[in-house]
Amino acid sequence: MSLASLWLPILLSAVLVFVVSSVIHMATPFHKADYRKLPNEEAVLDALRPFDLPAGDYVFPCVTDHKEMKDPAFLAKWKTGPAGMVTVMEKGVPTLGKSLALWFVYCVVVSVIAAYVTSRAVGPGAPARAVFRFAGVTTYVGYSLALWQNSIWFKKDWRTVLRSNVDGLAFALVTAGTFGWLWPR
């Protein structure tokens, strides 16, 4: 079965996931606790402004060579704290347009991968339940499992990652349902 024959479930599932994700993030308090405000935020911002940090990811304290990780001065920095990772965004008022467009493209890519895997596992006329199973599992993996790395390696709060995995489950159910419904007979 060609991916071209699956264009309707691919695009419709991407649109539905886009809508469901918008509802989850804008109309519910589900992700309200994902990020916390810095204590004394204004003082922290005032302290950082003179550095004019370019957009990017930073870790502190940071080593440039693995040999430094055994240096007592470096170890003292870790012990004394603070230690962390921070993403600095571009200056200016953020606009959602580009991020929403990229999110939609990502939704399409996940749906294309789900269509590919499902079309290789089951053929045309397959029972909706089989289509649902393969599309759902593939989609869940695409939206959820890679997020665990953020908690394992970058110490992102597990509760935030698990909430995002609940989102991924909702997206998987929507995609699997769409594929099961529109699968070529």
The total of other beta-carbon atoms located within 10 Å of residue 18's CB is: 18
Same domain, 144 and 103: yes
Same domain, 105 and 73: no
Q: What is the pLDDT of residues 12-63, one digit of tens each?
A: 999 999 999 999 999 999 999 999 999 999 999 999 999 999 999 999 999 8
Same domain, 74 and 101: no
Look up the pTM and report it.
Answer: 0.88
Number of domains in the chain: 2
pLDDT at residue 59 in the model? 92
Which residues span the domain enclosing 75?
Answer: 41-88
Same domain, 84 and 99: no
Same domain, 71 and 32: no
CA–centroid distance for 158 within its chain: 13
Same domain, 107 and 146: yes
Q: Which residues are paired to 84 by β-bridges?
A: 60
pLDDT of 173 above 90: yes
Q: What is the pLDDT of residues 72-112, one digit of tens each?
A: 999 999 999 999 999 999 999 888 999 999 999 999 999 99
Same domain, 14 and 45: no
Q: Which of 88, 118, 152 is the last residue of a domain?
A: 88
